[in-house]
Every structure is written in C-alpha cells, then in structure tokens.
Amino acid sequence: MTDIAHRARSVAALFAGVGISATGFIAMVTVVPLVAEDLLGGPRWSGLPSAFAIIGNAVGTSWLATVMAQSGRRRGLVLGYTIAGVAALAAAVAAGYSIFPLLLVSIFVLGVGYGASRLSRYAAADLYEPERRARAIGWVVWAGTIGSVLGPILLEPARQMSVLLTLPDTMGPFLLASLTMGFAGLILRIGFPRDVGARAPTSIGRGRAMANLRSAKSQIALAALVIGQVVMVLIMTMTAVHLRSEGGNLRSIGFVIAAHAFGMYALSPFSGYLSDRLGRRAIILLAGALLVSAGLVSGSAGSDVSRLALGLFLLGWGWNLGFVSGSALLTEAVPDADRTRLQGFADSIVWASAASAGLASGLLLHAVGFTRLCHLGALLALLPAAVIALRRS
C-alpha cells in the first residue's frame, strides 16, 4: 500500500472511531452527574463519577501510549475501545440497579479505554508534515461533532430503548456508550493499517518525558492543554445539575450540552487552519480570551437556557482552540523517538488535572454556587497567557 493510501485509510479510520465513540461518551457524561445526584441524594458529590472518568483518561492515555510505542497505534486504539465498551456495560448495570461503587469503578475503567479516542489526534499528526499537523489534528477532533450532535439527541431514544427491553430507563445512555465503543474498536481493527505508527520498543521513561517538558514549547503546550481542560470540566460538569435546579428538563439540558459539544468539535478544522497560519501561541491566547468570556456569560445566565447555551458554546470553542494548538505544539516540541510516550505522559497530566476539577466542581457548586464557580473558571483561563509571557521574557 502506498504512503498516500496508508494516510487516507488511517485518517478515515481515526475519524470514524472518534466520531462514533464520542456519540456514546457524550450521551453518558451528560447524564452521569444526574444519576449520581439521584443515587447520593444531593449534588455535593455528584461530580465524583465524572472525576473518576477523567482519572481513568489520565491512566489510560499514559498506558495506551506505552502500548502504542511498543506495538503500534492500531493495537492501542483497538484495545482501548474494547475496554471502554465492556466497562460501559458494567456502568449500565450499576446505574440501573443503584450500585454506586460499581458505577464509580466502571466509569473509571471506561475512562481508561476512552484514552484511545484522546490519543487519536496524535496518530493523525504523525501522518503529516509540521505545517499541516494542526489541521490534521483539527479534522480528527472535528469528528467529535458527530457525538456532540447525536449524543444529546439520543438521550431520550436510549431511555425508550431501555424501557422496551424492560430494563431500568437509566441504563439507556450507558448501553448506547457500550455499543458505540465496540463499533469504534471494530472500525479501527478493520480500517487502520497494522504498521502505521509502529516503532521499535524503547526505554524512554518518566524521567526522560519530564526532561522533555522543560522546553518552552512543551510548557506552553501543557499549560494550554491543562488549563483549557480544567476550565471546561469545572463549568461543564455542573451545568446539567445547575440547570435542573433552575427548573430545566432533560430536553433543555440536552440543548445546552449539545451547544457546548458543538463548540468543542464543529470548528476544529478552522481552529487547525488558524493555528497553522497564525502560529500556535497566538491561537492559545485567543483560546484563553474565549474561555474568560465563557465563564462570564455562563455565570450570569441563571435559568436563561439560550444565554447558558451561548456560554457553553464559547467554553467549547475556547477549549478546542487551545486543545488543537497545544497538541500541535507539543508534537513539535520533542524528537520523533520520544514523541509517543511523551504525548501519553502529557495527556495523563492533563486528565489528572481535569479530574481534580471534576471532583471539585460539585463541592464548589455546593459551597459558592454556579455563578462564582464560572467566575473562578474565567480567572484560571488567564494562566496560559501568563506562561507565554514568562517564557518569552
């Protein structure tokens, strides 16, 4: 197979895997804080399952990157999606039969497997020359638009499917996640060439990865990735809980989360184009400005669904700009031999930080309310600009 055919086949498989898996994942993360609130009797710890999912991402991206570095991208991707599919089935049982400890464990393992989707953008970047990497990343991230639209829309049909199967209606979104993860794994197994991304096993360890993170490019990239993820999780995780407390129903919650997820994914090719054309650092600064605006708009929305949807859209696009540009900058910051493991190590830091935000979100909502929580997110969004200024000086 020619290099061009390898590239086309690989990118198509990556695109399909991310889009299909995101459909189930977004449907699931929309309802899991609500399920947790119902099981626990209040919102205080309702962010705990989301935090476990992101901790799972932190573990999964590092571990799956090691698998990919030794055995190639395909093996790591297929393994991750398969694990996520099985874990989603266990989460469905936990949600349907009110077994909160099983829900936490299942969501954690699902997060481990979903690391395959998180790492897919780097697999795409490996296939392109430096001046086109951000656009390659953008197109793979854009595949999540499928999930951002279909996931919330399928919440009600998934519930009805559970009822038709005489199962508890809370199982529906988790069953949908299991189906989509399994299908994504099948597509990667069939469509992603075995030898793409394969490298000889190396001895690059945590110390070498941390050494690579001392460069200016690595630190700016990591700041953009970490802060963007933390701000997004901090606000987005508690949006459904806040809106329900203001009298919103599942339809209005789905609309707001769909607007957010659309912002996260739909403009990805444009974000990649801007990053390649204007430079990584300029777009990281733009991302911070949008995240600040998102915190201010969302914090003042109250029960206004339209205003909240606008704030969550800005939150999603600000995250997207930082995610695409930061990923491209990180890819360019290290030699080829170090790249795969460093990407996984950096992503593990990103998701561990986001997990802390997910856990703190429920506590902050309970302690200070949704408005101040959003304002805190806006303040944190200024940090990447500070890192850029410090490294420039």
Quick: pLDDT tens for 178-231. 999 999 999 999 888 765 554 544 444 555 555 666 778 888 988 999 999 999
Indicate the average pLDDT of the chain. Answer: 83
The more confidently predicted of residues 86 and 235 is: 86
pTM: 0.75
d(CA 357, CA 48): 10
Note the pLDDT of residue 201. 45
- Report DSSP state, residue 248: -
Question: Is a pLDDT exceeding 80 seen at residue 111?
Answer: yes
Per-residue pLDDT, averaged over 14-43, amounts to 86
Q: What is the DSSP string of 72-128?
A: -HHHHHHHHHHHHHHHHHHHHHHHHTT-HHHHHHHHHHHHHHHHHHHHHHHHHHTTS
Q: Which among 331, 69, 75, 335 has a CA at the least distance from the CA of 200?
A: 69
Note the pLDDT of residue 317. 92
For the chain, which domains are there? Answer: 3-192+209-392 (1.20.1250.20)
Quick: pLDDT tens for 246-295. 666 667 777 888 788 788 878 888 998 999 888 888 999 999 999 999 98
Note the pLDDT of residue 205. 53
Note the pLDDT of residue 335. 65
